[in-house]
Amino acid sequence: MINKDLVIVGGGSAGLAAAISAYDSGVKDILLIEKNSELGGILNQCIHNGFGLQKFKEELTGPEYASRYIKEFKERKIESFLETLVLGINDKLEVRIINSKVGVETIKAKAIIMAMGCNERTRGQISIPGDRPRGVFTAGLAQKYLNIDGYLVGKNVYILGSGDIGLIMARRMTLEGANVIGVSELMPYSNGLTRNIVQCLNDFNIPLKLHNTVTKIIGKDKLEAIEISDVDDNLRPIKGTEQIIKCDALLLSVGLYPFNSLLVNAKAKSYSKTKGAFVDQNLETSIKGVFSCGNVLHVHDLVDFVSLEGEIAGKNAAKLILNGRKSVKNIINVIEGENVNYVLPNVINVTDGLDKVEFSFRVKMPIKRGEIRILDGTNIIKKIRANDLLPSEMKRISLTNFDFNNVKQIKVEVRVN
Amino acid sequence: MEKEFVCIVCPNGCRIKVDDSGKISGYTCIRGLNYVKQELVDPRRGLTSTFKVVHGRNLVCPCRSNVSVPKDKMIDIIKEIDKLNVEAPIQIHQVVIKNVLNLGVDIIATKEIEKDE
């Protein structure tokens, strides 16, 4: 058994930010656990630029963004275990790990921060009918093969889903000489950032078919073709619209979900809308002393907000370790209102001195002109106008100088104007 | 005819309009204005890719152009990058191609790659 003040699971953008912020808040006895052989997480394969505009006010590539945090992390001489898997955690704040140096070991912590990121949805999860040849990849896996291992997964590529990774891969593979035939998106709107539609598809004349999906995969050993079809308003394929497209690789960019199994196995409460943990305003889960942040809490579109959440978790875990737990004076349930798909935190545990809570949310559908409202029951506490809201773009809104003592429920909603 | 651009400078994706007289509207920051001005005369993009590494901890190293490159030269530049074989160690922001294709643009590494011991 090893004793540590703070254990952080995951060395990507959330975990690194959490470690640095906990350290700077006064906790020095930290161990960060990373399964890969290097720090930085998924940023290492996101070689495109566009990271860091919020945080550093400049445009960085993924590896550059990661390197800033890795440098800060190393300067503080925070301890890390690389190539180490976490087998499980429990409510006694014990972390079971395995690696080739120590074998299986248990680490007893005063607080744990979960920062394991997210997974890609696979073919099985969206049930595409047809053969089971090789040549069907999740977009992020194809990205790893190209940007980390150095090879293209195909020459004639079709992409299902207009998520950002799919769009980025459309451009990347085109530039490396592949023929990207097109992108199909089930919904009537794109799921990626608008800028990525422009610079990844429009720039290269790659067609985006909305309300369209892959209905069959064809190929004995190797992918030979796919069948695509238009879908109706209930998202069911329309007979007679089938089209066969010859290709040797199909990339799936059909959504991400929190890689939250460690918390689920530990019986932490989860939030059905995000598939991540149920948390309070300090990002503490239903297991006391265990925090969750970044993509394992809810899938983000901007790494800047992942880092920000990591910092918040790190600071709050440090407060808990150094000052102990404050008594809770009031509990406020936070619920999603009209047009809001999800809102975090799920609950506000009101303690003395609490005067600010930040909410993260996503809308259910694109909203051209709207008004974001925070309500206490039926009274509007705060409202701000907001234009061009998209389900693919997470929004944050904060509530400051508010008396949290006499409220039982807070609702976040978006009205369409 | 009025033209609409979606700004790609940051994830906000502002919709910026240019009318017949050349008046630009809808931008929310100076960078958006500059983006559209540039886009009208000479579209440019930031370019990122990877190149091969010799004797490194990693097989390939990510890289980018130090400034944006003409949109129609992106594929030609990538072909130059694909010819590289760079010996590790590699420093972050090390220049790996100086003045690529005489465009006045350098290609720089975006990651530190240690030598494989």
The full 3-state SS of A204-243, as one line of letters, equals HCCCEEECEEEEEEECCCECCEEEEEEECCCCCECCCCCE
Average pLDDT across chain A, whole number: 95
CB distance A374 to A382 below 8 Å:
yes
Q: Is the predicted pLDDT of residue B1 greater than 80, yes or no?
A: no
pLDDT of residue A391: 86
Helix or strand run (H / E) with residue A91:
none
A18 burial type by CB count under 10 A (0-12 exposed, 13-18 middle, 19+ buried): buried
Does the beta carbon of A146 lie under 8 angstroms from any beta carbon of chain B?
yes
Select the residue from A55, A58, A64, A202 to test the B interface by mutation, using most B Cβ atoms within 10 A: A64
Q: How confident is the model at residue A223 (pLDDT cuts 50, 70, 90)?
A: very high
Helix A62-75 and helix A13-24, axial crossing angle in degrees, nearest 10: 30
Helix ranges (DSSP H) in A250-358:
261-265, 303-323
Question: Residues of B near A (CB-CB distance < 8 A)?
Answer: 6-11, 13, 15, 45-50, 52, 57-60, 62-64, 71, 74-75, 78, 82, 92, 110-112
CB A297 within 8 A of CB A276: yes
Of the listed ranges A94-108, A112-126, A185-199, A217-231, the least confidently predicted one is A185-199
| Cβ separation A61–B50 shorter than 8 A | no
Instruction: Return the closest-CA partner of residue A403 out of A333, A335, A349, A356.
Output: A356
Q: Is the pLDDT of residue B11 over 90?
A: no
In total, chain B counts a number of residues equal to 117
A283 burial type by CB count under 10 A (0-12 exposed, 13-18 middle, 19+ buried): buried
Quickly list DSSP for A8-31: EE--SHHHHHHHHHHHHTT---EE
- Mean of pLDDT values over A158-170: 93
Contacts of A302 in chain B (CB under 8 A): 11
Per-residue model confidence (pLDDT) at position A247:
98
Contact B58 A49 (CB under 8 A): no
Q: Would you report the helix, strand and coil content of chain B in percent, each value rounded to 5?
A: 25, 35, 45
A304 touches chain B (CB under 8 A): no
pLDDT at A346 over 90: yes
Max CA pair span of chain B: 63
pTM: 0.93
Beta-carbon separation of B50 and A150 below 8 A: yes
Most confidently modeled range among A292-296, A385-389, B36-40: A292-296
Residue A163 is predicted with a pLDDT of 86
Considering only CB atoms, B49 lies closest to which of A44, A175, A193, namely: A175
ipTM surpassing 0.95: no
Residue A191 — pLDDT band, cuts 50, 70, 90?
confident
Please give the structure tokens belonging to residue B72.
């129609």
Q: What is the mean pLDDT of residues A132-150?
A: 96
Residue of A37, A45, A46, A49 for testing the chain B interface, max B β-carbons within 10 Å: A49
Distance from CA of A57 to the nearest CA of B (A): 10
Two tokens, residue A333: 């349930």
Residues of A in contact with B110 (CB under 8 A): 47, 61, 63-64
Structure tokens at B26: 């809808």
**Is the CB of residue A282 less than 8 Å away from at least one CB of chain B?**
no
A61, A67, A198 ranked by CB distance to B6: nearest: A198
Question: Distance (Å) from the C-alpha of residue B89 to the closest C-alpha of chain A?
Answer: 16
What is the least distance, in Å, from the CA of B95 to any CA of chain A? 15
Burial of A308 (0-12, 13-18, 19+ CB in 10 A): buried
Specify the range with the lowest mean pLDDT, choosing from A110-119, A262-271, B12-21.
B12-21
Q: Sort out which chain A residues have CB atoms less than 8 A from B32's CB and list them.
A: none
Residue with tokens 């972390």: A95
How many CB pairs (< 8 A) connect A and B?
Answer: 79
Shortest CB distance from B13 goes to which of A47, A59, A195? Answer: A195
Dihedral pair phi/psi, residue B104, rounded to 5°:
75, 20
The chain A residue lying nearest B67, using CA atoms, is A59
Q: Rounded to an integer, what distance in angstroms lies between the CA atom of residue A36 and that of residue A144? A: 13
Other CB atoms within 10 Å distance of the CB of residue A46: 25
- pLDDT for residue B12 is more than 80: no
Report pLDDT for A296.
Answer: 98
Read off the pLDDT of residues A235-274 as tens digits, 9 standing for 90 and up.
Answer: 999 999 999 999 999 999 999 999 999 999 999 999 999 9
pLDDT surpassing 90 at residue B49? yes
Bigger pLDDT: A176 vs A194:
A176
Number of DSSP helices (H) and strands (E) in chain A, helices first: 8, 29
DSSP line for A121-137:
--HHHHT--B---B-EE
How distant is the Cα of A165 from the closest Cα of chain B, in angstroms? 14
Task: Locate all alpha helices (DSSP H) within A230-354, ordered by sequence.
Answer: 261-265, 303-323
Residues A88 and A110: their CA atoms lie apart, in Å, by 16
Asked if A189 has any chain B CB less than 8 Å from its own CB, the reply is: no
- Mutation target to probe the A interface, by most A beta carbons within 10 A, among B4, B6, B30 is B6
Q: Which of A54, A194, A394 to mutate to test the interface with B (most CBs of B within 10 A)?
A: A194
Q: Quick check: A143 and A169 in contact, CB under 8 A?
A: yes
Whether A58 has its CB under 8 Å from any CB of chain B: the answer is no
